[in-house]
Structures are given as C-alpha cells and as structure tokens.
Chain A
Amino acid sequence: MFKLALQSLINRKNVLILIYISLSLSVLLFLGVQRTREISRTSFSRTISGTDLIIGARTGQINLILYSVFHMGNAVNNISYNSYLELAGREEVAWSVPLSLGDSHKGFRVVGTTDDYFRFFTYGKKHPLTFDNGAEFQDLFDVVIGSAVAEELNYKVDDSVIINHGAGKVSLSSHDTLPFRISGILEPTGTPVDKSLFISLEGISAIHIGWERGMETRKVTREQALAVDLSPQSITSAYIGLKNRRTAFSFQRIVNNYPDEPLMAILPGAALYELWSLMGIAEKALTFISGAVVLIGLISLLSAQMAVLNQRRREMALLRSLGATPIRLFYFLFIESFIMTAAGCLSGVFLLYAVQIAVSKIFSSSGLYLDLTLPSPSEWILLIITLAAGLLTGLIPAIMTYRKSLTDGMSVRS
C-alpha cells in the first residue's frame, strides 16, 4: 500500500514538488523564527550577569541599559567622577567599574574604564572576561580590543589604533596625533564586549585635551598629554557589584535620591526584561506570520488534493473493483498526505540546520551565538503539531473519497 501511495504521488510530482517546497520552506521559516527568538533571548540575557546595579545620569532604564551594556545610543548626560567615587566607596559596594563612552574606532565603540573591568565584569553564567592574547592596558595609550574587532579589522597585539571622536563609522575628527597600542585581545564572548575597544579613563581624558565643545582647537602630542593632569572629571555610567544582593533596592534608592546631581540606578535584570518585552511585540508578530505561512502550505496541499479528487474517483473505483476495501482507500490517501507532510517537515528541519551552519560561518565573529543543538522540546512540539495538522488536512480528502467510493461504486456518477 505504501508503494502504491508513493507511485501515485510520483505520478503527480509536478504539483506536489511545488507543495513540498512550500511545506519545507514554511517549516523552515516557522522553526527558524522560533530558534532565532530563543537564541536572541538567551544571547540577550547573557550580555551581563553578576552586576547588581548600573548607575547613570537620570534617564529611562531602557536608555541606560542600551548605552551602558549594549553600547547603543548615547548618554543624555555624564555623571561627575566625584559622585561616582563617593557612591562606589560606600560599604555595601563590593566592586565597581566606571564606564566612559562616546568615542569610537571604525564604527566600534570605545569604552573608557579601569582594569577592574576585566576583573569584575561577567557575562552569561558568571563568566569572567579572558584574554585570547596579550593583557590588560598598562600604559596610558594602551587599548584592549574585543574579538570581533580583532577579527574584522585584522588586528594583532602591538598594532596601533587611532580613536575617533564621536560614535560614527566615518568621522572627520580623529585623535590622530595620539595613536593607541593594542595591549590585549579578548576571547569571544557573544556579547557587545566583542565589538568594543577598552582604554583607561585617563586615556579618554588624554584624547580629549585640546577639544572644546566637540571641536579640535589644537593638536596635542603624546608628551604634552602626559604632562597634563589626566584624572577623569566625569564618566557616563558605572557597574556596581554589591556585597549583599539584598541591599540592591536600598542602594538603588540612595542613588536615585543622590542630592548633588540627578542620578539613577537600575537593576540590569529588570531592565533587560523590559527591553525584551519591548521587542516581544515584533517577536509575536513574527511567530504569527510564520504560523500563517505553515497554514498556507497546508492549505495548498489540501487544495491540490481536492482539485484532483474528482479525477481520482475513477482511480478509487478501479482499486475497489480489484478488491480494495474503502478502509484501504482511506489509508491510501492518508499515507499520501503523511508522506508529503513528513517529507516537508524533515527537509524543513534539514534546511534549518543547513541555514544555521551557513549563518554561523558568516557571522562567527559578530557575537551572535548559534549553537547547533538538536531540536528543543518546544521545537519537537511545533514539528508534531505541523505533522498532525498536515495529517488532518490529508484526512479531509481521504474522508471525502471514502464516502464517494462507498456511494459511487464502480460507476463514477459525476
């Protein structure tokens, strides 16, 4: 019976190949969207961990987490270094990392910080940063670069780098008299760290000597820079680790009510959640669309089956005359739909992996981590639902043919 069904399918291959392709593609799309969603959610939540609070100038928490963690957008205001020192010096604080943002190198953000960054910043499951090559910055003009920066720009340790003023990819104003030496390259993390360059806070001060209101008024040489007092005046934000997480809310209150300037502190987990739920609408829309695509694939399978139903009544009458029971005819059509949907699902999954391998080859340095894993339980459920829906659509023509073959008998009364 299986062979018979297969032969019958092969006979109608032209139409069915198209349906098969649309089924495979819709399964691919459906699973692909689900998988991207899961991957982006995990890579999203693994960008920062172990940091209890993020401090910045008063703004929205989404804005603050965007620029301090994702290095996207700009700070509305700086916070004075003294305020930072005072807050970081409180007894609840276990560690703190200041961040000074606003400069870039060939489209990659430059982060001014201290070497505490490499000691205390953790991502994922409390992974600390590790060096692939070299070490943290020693000198004023040392820079540590992320793995994606190194790969994309083909940088090695001891190469020299010019930092641009501002965050654009093309910048006319560059601090070109003050080249930086690469002291270390970080291991890939799959977080925005990969796409960042790190220099000391003093380095940030140094490259801004002679700049007033974003305009370069005079050129500064390395020697001149070293002669000036480079202790930082302001920073953009800071990561805070507390001795006891339970003090997070009270510390947050202290920061929010800081008398000298308008500051705010956010809990990274809550901010990430809010950011994610903002993207959740797009995510839901995508899921809905990909679900609709699967539905369309199934409907086209159904319509193709229905279109030839009348023509196939003769076929069914013939099979009955040979001794096939209506139940057998029912199975026959059922197996046909099963072969179709199963093949569609299978090649959809196969395509998914093919695409994933291709994508991970292309974007291996982009920080988007695509782990090649077996289908997750939820993906299995989606596949089973698709298969079941496919079988249900196969049942409709099967039931109709069954009924017709009962009443038709051998004379096809059309």
Chain B
Amino acid sequence: MIHLENALFAWPDEEALINIRDFSVKEGEKVFLKGSSGSGKTTLLSLVAGIQTIQSGSLKVRGEELKNMKCHKRDRFRGDHMGYIFQQFNLLPWLSIEDNILAPVLFSPVKRKKEKGKHHNKVRELLDELSLDVDLRKKAGNLSIGQQQRVAVARALIGNPELIIADEPTSALDADRRKNFMNLLFSECEKRGATLLVVSHDRELATRFSRVVDLESINGGAYV
C-alpha cells in the first residue's frame, strides 16, 4: 500500500526532516508509528497523503509514485483513496454533522461512486455503527470532543477508502474514551479491509496493532 525508499524531505531552509531509507506498509496492515513530538510524524503523513512531496527518492502509494503526479492529481488521489483523521479540529464547526461526513463525497467522484448514490443512508449507518445518536442537522461545533472524533471517523470511512490515516487521533480524549475510540477505529477498518496508519507519541495505543514502528528507527533525518 505504502512504500518509501530513500525518501528525503526538508522544509525550506531547514535540514532534512524526513530521510527514510526503506519503509513499507502492506495492504490491510495496521501500523502504529510512534515518535516523540517534532520527530516529523505529521510531516511524514503529509507526504504519504500527497500534500507535500519528497524532494528525492521514492514514495509510492497503491503503486503510484506521488511525486510524479501533478498537484491537482495528488489532491484527487488523496480524496479518492484516503480518509484522514486529525488530532483536533477535525470538523468544520459551521457545517452540519451530515454535511461534514459527506464532504469527502463532495470532493471525490470515486467515493461518490462507491456509495452508489446512497450516501445519505450511509451517514446514518455509519453513525449507528459508531453508536452516535445525534441530530444530523446539528452544527458540528456543538458536539463534545468525543462525539466530534467519532464523526471524524465516520467521515474518514465514507466512500470506503483503502487507506485510513490518523494523526494523534486520541490526544483530545481521556484515557477511557481513548481505548473505546481505538477499538472502534480498529473494528471499522477490519470490517472494510482498509489499511490503517496511525501516528502517535502515546505508546499505550500500540497494543492492538499488527506492527509497531518507531519513527526514529527508520528516519535518519534531523529532528527539529
């Protein structure tokens, strides 16, 4: 699913932050990437998602070399094949819950096709699965943090993307909810056979993953 080889990336006027000789994630794999803050976790995810591109080397997602794609192609690629969960500020507070969940479908024709025009029903199904019982027309900004994170999962899952990327998804949650949330994310990904890549500094999350990788062990770049 993901394959990096001699991948090099540096922010302008800084030393290389990402310098990965060899790292890959297989399809359906659930990988936990741990690293302390400033180790380049989020930057790595930006690279995998194709928002930033590596300056040299190779980074392939689903067998496609991201840096060879044009900018808007990469955006399209990300919209079509990935679901992304942030550590916080996951939802657009001024949109309703439903519109938030449906936003990826708006941007990606592939996801729309996968839902076969039944995306409105799918929103309800997803929220049921996530046991979130709320009024869909409610503004997302009015939800609690825990509820917002679950809506974010629903949004990442809609359109069945092959790759789910989560960036410190639990940092805004307390210990109990953290466990529940990870269980939920896991079972949803397993159900769909999606590949899951989670980065966090929180080692306690690592327990259920098929593979745990320390970013510092694969990354030869300088830390900020």
17 interchain pairs, CB-CB under 8 A: A8-B94, A11-B94, A318-B89, A318-B91, A319-B103, A320-B51, A320-B75, A321-B51, A321-B86, A322-B107, A323-B104, A324-B107, A325-B71, A327-B72, A328-B107, A410-B46, A411-B42
A10 CB within 8 Å of chain B: yes
A407 to B14, CA, bound (A): 14
Those 8 A-B pairs whose CB atoms lie nearest each other, nearest first: A323-B79, A11-B94, A323-B107, A409-B46, A321-B84, A325-B75, A411-B42, A409-B51
A259 to B78, CA, bound (A): 98
Complex contacts, A322 vs chain B, CB 8 Å: 79, 84, 103-104, 107, 155
Are A11 and B104 in contact (CB-based, < 8 A)?
A: no
Counting chain A residues whose Cβ lies within 8 A of the other chain, the interface size class is: 20 to 34
A314 CB within 8 Å of chain B: yes
- The answer to whether residues A321 and B78 also contact, given A8-B94, A409-B52, A410-B167 and a CB cut-off of 8 A, is yes
Interface flags for B77-95 (1: CB within 8 Å of A; 0: not) read 0111000101001111111
Could you tell me the distance in whole angstroms from the C-beta of A298 to the nearest C-beta in chain B?
Answer: 24
Interface flags for B51-89 (1: CB within 8 Å of A; 0: not) read 110000000000000000001100110111000101001
Could you tell me the distance in whole angstroms from the C-beta of B44 to the nearest C-beta in chain A?
Answer: 10
Are A410 and B93 in contact (CB-based, < 8 A)?
A: no
The number of chain B residues with a CB under 8 A from chain A is 32
A359 to B80, CA, bound (A): 59
B147 CB within 8 Å of chain A: no
Identify B43's interface contact among A319, A321, A411, CB under 8 A: A411
- List CB contacts (< 8 Å) of B87-146 with chain A: 89-95, 99, 103-104, 106-108
A409 to B42, CA, bound (A): 9
- List CB contacts (< 8 Å) of A1-54 with chain B: 4, 7-8, 10-12
Q: List 8 additional contacts besides A318-B86, A322-B155, A409-B51; criterion CB under 8 Å.
A: A318-B90, A318-B92, A320-B75, A323-B80, A324-B79, A324-B107, A407-B12, A410-B51
- List CB contacts (< 8 Å) of A379-405 with chain B: none
Complex contacts, A318 vs chain B, CB 8 Å: 86, 89-92
A102 CB within 8 Å of chain B: no
Are B71 and A326 in contact (CB-based, < 8 A)?
A: yes
Quick one: closest A residue to B43, CB to CB? A411
Quick one: closest A residue to B77, CB to CB? A323
Identify B42's interface contact among A12, A314, A315, A410, CB under 8 A: A410
- The answer to whether residues A315 and B75 also contact, given A410-B86, A410-B167 and a CB cut-off of 8 A, is no
Complex contacts, B46 vs chain A, CB 8 Å: 409-411
A11 to B155, CA, bound (A): 21
A8 to B100, CA, bound (A): 12
Complex contacts, B91 vs chain A, CB 8 Å: 318
- The answer to whether residues A410 and B84 also contact, given A320-B51, A322-B107 and a CB cut-off of 8 A, is yes
Complex contacts, A321 vs chain B, CB 8 Å: 49, 51, 78, 84, 86
Quick one: closest B residue to A405, CB to CB? B51
Quick one: closest A residue to B165, CB to CB? A321
Majority-rule SS of A interface residues: helix
B45 CB within 8 Å of chain A: yes
Could you tell me the distance in whole angstroms from the C-beta of B22 to the nearest C-beta in chain A?
Answer: 23
Complex contacts, A328 vs chain B, CB 8 Å: 107
Complex contacts, B104 vs chain A, CB 8 Å: 322-323
Identify B94's interface contact among A10, A323, A409, CB under 8 A: A10
Could you tell me the distance in whole angstroms from the C-beta of B17 to the nearest C-beta in chain A?
Answer: 11
Complex contacts, B79 vs chain A, CB 8 Å: 322-324
Quick one: closest B residue to A8, CB to CB? B94
A322 to B80, CA, bound (A): 9
Interface centre among B12, B71, B72, B86 (most CB of A within 10 A): B86
A328 to B76, CA, bound (A): 11
Complex contacts, B99 vs chain A, CB 8 Å: 7
- List CB contacts (< 8 Å) of A216-244 with chain B: none
- List CB contacts (< 8 Å) of A321-344 with chain B: 321-328
A318 to B108, CA, bound (A): 15
A94 to B51, CA, bound (A): 87
- The answer to whether residues A11 and B75 also contact, given A323-B108, A410-B42, A411-B42 and a CB cut-off of 8 A, is no
A321 to B78, CA, bound (A): 7
Are A324 and B42 in contact (CB-based, < 8 A)?
A: no
Interface flags for A127-138 (1: CB within 8 Å of B; 0: not) read 000000000000
Interface flags for B157-170 (1: CB within 8 Å of A; 0: not) read 00000000001000
- The answer to whether residues A410 and B45 also contact, given A7-B99, A10-B94 and a CB cut-off of 8 A, is yes
Quick one: closest B residue to A413, CB to CB? B11
Interface centre among B43, B45, B103, B155 (most CB of A within 10 A): B103
Are B52 and A4 in contact (CB-based, < 8 A)?
A: no
Could you tell me the distance in whole angstroms from the C-beta of A214 to the nearest C-beta in chain B?
Answer: 76
A299 to B80, CA, bound (A): 39
Interface centre among A11, A314, A315, A323 (most CB of B within 10 A): A323
- List CB contacts (< 8 Å) of A260-275 with chain B: none
Complex contacts, B103 vs chain A, CB 8 Å: 319, 322
Complex contacts, A12 vs chain B, CB 8 Å: 94
Complex contacts, B49 vs chain A, CB 8 Å: 321, 410
A315 to B141, CA, bound (A): 13
Complex contacts, B90 vs chain A, CB 8 Å: 318
A315 to B103, CA, bound (A): 13
Are B78 and A323 in contact (CB-based, < 8 A)?
A: yes
- The answer to whether residues A7 and B95 also contact, given A323-B75, A410-B45 and a CB cut-off of 8 A, is yes
